[in-house]
């Protein structure tokens, strides 16, 4: 940690995003330090995904700024945000179903490669060294996430737990500074959740990525997050150490509608 | 049977990224290439130059359209217009005294520039709207061709292509024309096979399948769509020029009219979007089957001693081949390429196919 710059990896100040008359997110401040696993919780429709879309450029914020390692990236187009070192997974998966697991993960290396017409035409001299070198990095991540046996299978036929893992692999091979995981454990059983939590912790410890984790499973949030921010109706209602946040009466009220039950 | 996956091991990443990973596929490709090279010595030149040669050039053209429609997922109804740009620019360049090799490249580049210019305008819209915009482009090109005598040699007239000459060699023999067509088709096929295993191909598929997911991986969809249009237009341009140089010998606007565009699109769709071998099949079906059915009907009517009037004779092949397209797409919406793939996959595990789920 001491070798890296002390600037927080991600800094959001006063983020507001409106859709017509609806204010989806307002006044959200968020600071994520390097190497931190930062949880984002809140009931459905509380603006968690909108916030990540504001960060990654899909829905640029109407107000406020987003800084990545000190650099202002507010409103930058998604493909440029990706090049700057932000990778993310999607709540409803965004894998390419017609492609194999391997090709999906190789696409994660896109920002480190230089695909072009001439490289394709003169494959043996121009593209093969690059393809092989990137494939090596992909193979490391495939081994790390234990996907060896399904490497050549089409993504379409995989169970959801594996699909989520493939998507995590695709995000990790990009070697991002910041990894945004949007409900990576939705629909998983206890065992799969255990695996996934371990992968996220290992990714942080071995690969040094900082993680923004959106999750509804409070056991996971308490188990692996360093700090947590809770949203409700697009506003921040609590932030701090996970244990304190989940005990916060406003969070309990937001989730189950009242703490005096 | 002949295909076997068991016993095929790749022990390095280079061998795992080969063009044909199964030896049987590779052997088949080499075998077909040898047949292709030997064809002038086997087939009478009538068949060679009136069936095989156009089949090869149209396959190259269809592969180009497959790049933009099958890979990048952009509907294109103005493909013949792009071919026309290539053909006319190449011919006019040669008439100015430039050698054919350079003229072909200039034709390809001209088609590429015009094709991507239209794409620039068209890419603000998607799907059906894109189809309609490209169709409009086709009509604009038709109009320009028929109304500018400097390009087309005047309305209702045609433009004579100068004799093809490559590498200082005048090409006038039937076998010569055939080898030029074969060479071009092989080059385009190799390019498409490489596309299957490089980042460019993956990026194009990403743009086709989910553009928001492509964006988060750093793929600039707009750039790759333009690139797809440019590359495909280049292939179209050179194919158009070669078609005139080795097959039509005269360039006329109706050779690149709107129904030709639709025909190429049909070749790609019947063959299978995103399938290379499928494009070969698709072109064969659309180009060769009508003639084949015609011959069959004539022979059958003579054998059976039936009188078939000329009108019926003209319509039967069209009806049969229309029905064939419908039947094929009903059996396998992914086209002939997928049908071939199914058979190949079956043979891959035969006779142990019952072990698969």
Q: pLDDT truncated to tens, each residue of chain B (357 aa)? A: 456 666 677 778 887 878 888 888 888 899 999 999 999 999 888 888 888 999 999 999 999 999 999 999 888 999 999 999 999 999 999 989 889 999 999 999 999 999 988 788 767 777 788 888 889 889 998 888 888 877 777 656 677 878 877 887 788 888 899 999 999 999 999 999 999 999 999 999 999 998 888 999 999 989 999 999 999 999 999 999 999 999 988 888 888 989 899 999 999 999 999 999 999 999 999 888 888 888 888 888 888 877 777 787 778 878 887 888 899 889 988 999 999 988 888 887 777 665 554
Name residues 305-324 of chain B within 8 A of A (Cβ).
Answer: none
Assigned token pair, B95: 């008439």
| Residue A189 to residue A12: CA distance in whole angstroms | 33
Task: Say yes or no: A84 contacts chain B, CB-CB below 8 A.
Answer: no
d(CA B279, CA B268): 6
Task: Please give the average per-residue pLDDT across A168-184, as a whole number.
Answer: 93
Pick from B212, B217, B230: which is nearest to A108 by CB?
B217
Of B305, B304, B283, B285, the C-alpha closest to B293 is B285
Nearest chain B residue to A112 by CA: give it: B218
**Separation between Cα atoms, residue A131 and residue A118, nearest integer Å:** 14
d(CA B238, CA B236): 6
Give the torsion through C-alpha atoms of A152, A153, A154, A157, to 10 deg. -170
Structure tokens at B86: 């290539």
Locus of tokens 């059958």 = B300
Q: Which residue shows structure tokens 């800084």?
A: A67
DSSP label of B156: T
ipTM score for this prediction:
0.88
Residue A115 to residue B218, Cβ atoms within 8 A: no
Candidate from B17, B200, B206 with C-beta closest to A120: B200
A10-19 and A63-68 beta bridge pairing: antiparallel
Burial environment of residue A228 by CB neighbours within 10 A (0 to 12, 13 to 18, 19 or more): buried
The closest alpha carbon to A246, from A213, A211, A222, A216, belongs to: A222
Confidence (pTM): 0.90
Q: Two tokens at B200?
A: 């460019």
Tell me the C-alpha distance between A128 and B257, whole Å. Answer: 40
Helix/strand/coil for A29: strand
Residue of A59, A76, A87, A117 best to disrupt the B interface, most CBs of B under 10 A = A117
Beta carbons of B60 and B239 less than 8 angstroms apart? yes
Place of tokens 């070198």: A133
**CB-CB: which of B194, B209, B230 is closest to A123?**
B194
Would residue B304 be called left, alpha or beta, if left means φ above 0 and alpha means ψ between -120 and 50 degrees? Answer: alpha
Q: B13 and A99: CB-CB below 8 Å?
A: no
- What are the Cα distances from residue B141, in Å, to A128, B77, B104, B133, B134? 39, 12, 20, 13, 11
Residue B275's contacts (CB-CB under 8 Å, 6 or more residues apart) are B66, B70, B334, B335, B336, B337, B338, B341
Go through chain B and tell me how many residues it has. 357
**Interior/surface letters A54-74, b for 16+ CB within 10 angstroms, e for the rest:** bbbbbbbbbebebbbbeeebb
Distance (Å, rounded) from C-alpha B327 to C-alpha B267?
15
SS3 A182: strand
Residue pair A214/A183 in contact (Cβ under 8 Å)? The answer is yes
């Amino acid at each position: 940690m001491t070798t890296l710059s002390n600037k927080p990896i991600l800094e959001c100040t006063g983020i507001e995003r409106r859709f017509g008359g609806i204010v989806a997110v307002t006044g959200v401040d968020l600071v994520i330090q390097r190497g931190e696993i930062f949880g984002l919780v809140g009931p459905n429709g509380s603006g968690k995904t909108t916030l990540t879309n504001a960060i990654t450029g899909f829905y640029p914020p109407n107000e406020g700024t987003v800084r990545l390692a000190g650099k202002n990236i507010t409103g930058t187009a998604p493909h440029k945000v990706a090049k700057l070192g932000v990778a993310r997974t999607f709540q409803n998966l965004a894998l390419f179903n017609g492609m194999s697991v391997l090709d999906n993960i190789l696409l994660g290396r896109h920002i480190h490669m230089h695909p072009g017409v001439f490289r394709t035409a003169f494959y043996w001299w121009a593209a093969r060294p690059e393809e092989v070198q990137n494939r090596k990095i992909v193979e490391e991540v495939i081994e790390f996430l234990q996907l060896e046996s399904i490497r050549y299978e089409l993504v379409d036929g995989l169970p959801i737990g594996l699909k989520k893992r493939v998507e995590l692999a695709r995000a990790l091979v990009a070697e991002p500074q910041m990894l945004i995981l949007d409900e990576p454990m939705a629909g998983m059983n206890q065992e799969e959740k255990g695996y996934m939590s371990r992968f996220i912790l290992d990714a942080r410890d071995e690969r040094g990525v900082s993680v923004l984790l959106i999750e509804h499973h409070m056991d996971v949030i308490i188990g692996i997050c360093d700090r947590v921010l809770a949203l409700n109706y697009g506003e921040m209602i609590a932030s701090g150490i996970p244990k304190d946040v989940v005990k916060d009466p406003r969070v309990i009220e937001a989730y189950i509608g009242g703490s005096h039950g | 049977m002949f295909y076997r996956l068991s016993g095929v091991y790749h022990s390095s990443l280079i061998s795992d990224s080969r063009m044909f990973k199964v030896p049987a596929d590779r052997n088949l490709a080499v075998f077909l290439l040898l047949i292709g090279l030997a064809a002038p010595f086997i087939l009478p030149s009538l068949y060679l130059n009136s069936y095989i040669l156009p089949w090869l050039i149209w396959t190259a053209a269809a592969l180009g359209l497959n790049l933009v429609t099958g890979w990048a997922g952009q509907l294109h109804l103005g493909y013949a217009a792009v071919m026309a740009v290539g053909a006319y620019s190449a011919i006019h360049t040669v008439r100015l005294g430039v050698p054919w090799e350079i003229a072909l490249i200039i034709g390809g580049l001209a088609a590429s520039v015009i094709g991507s210019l239209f794409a620039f305008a068209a890419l603000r819209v998607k799907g059906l709207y894109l189809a309609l915009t490209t169709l409009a482009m086709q009509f604009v090109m038709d109009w320009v061709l028929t109304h500018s005598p400097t390009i087309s040699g005047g309305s209702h007239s045609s433009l004579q292509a100068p004799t093809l000459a490559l590498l200082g060699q005048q090409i006038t023999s039937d076998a010569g024309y055939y080898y030029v067509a074969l060479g071009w088709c092989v080059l385009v096929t190799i390019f498409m096979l490489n596309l299957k295993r490089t980042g460019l191909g993956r990026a194009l598929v990403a743009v086709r399948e989910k553009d928001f997911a492509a964006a988060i991986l750093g793929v600039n969809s707009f750039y790759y769509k333009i690139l797809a249009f440019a590359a495909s237009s280049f292939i179209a341009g050179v194919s158009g020029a070669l078609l005139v140089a080795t097959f039509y010998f005269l360039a006329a606007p109706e050779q690149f009219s709107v129904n030709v565009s639709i025909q190429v699109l049909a070749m790609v769709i019947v063959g299978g979007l995103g399938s290379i071998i499928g494009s070969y099949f698709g072109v064969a079906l659309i180009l060769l089957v009508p003639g084949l059915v015609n011959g069959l009907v004539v022979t059958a009517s003579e054998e059976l001693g039936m009188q078939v009037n000329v009108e019926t004779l003209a319509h039967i092949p069209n009806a049969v081949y229309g029905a064939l397209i419908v039947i094929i797409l009903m059996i396998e919406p992914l086209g002939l390429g997928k049908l071939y793939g199914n058979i190949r996959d079956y043979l891959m595990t035969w006779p142990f196919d019952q072990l698969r789920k």
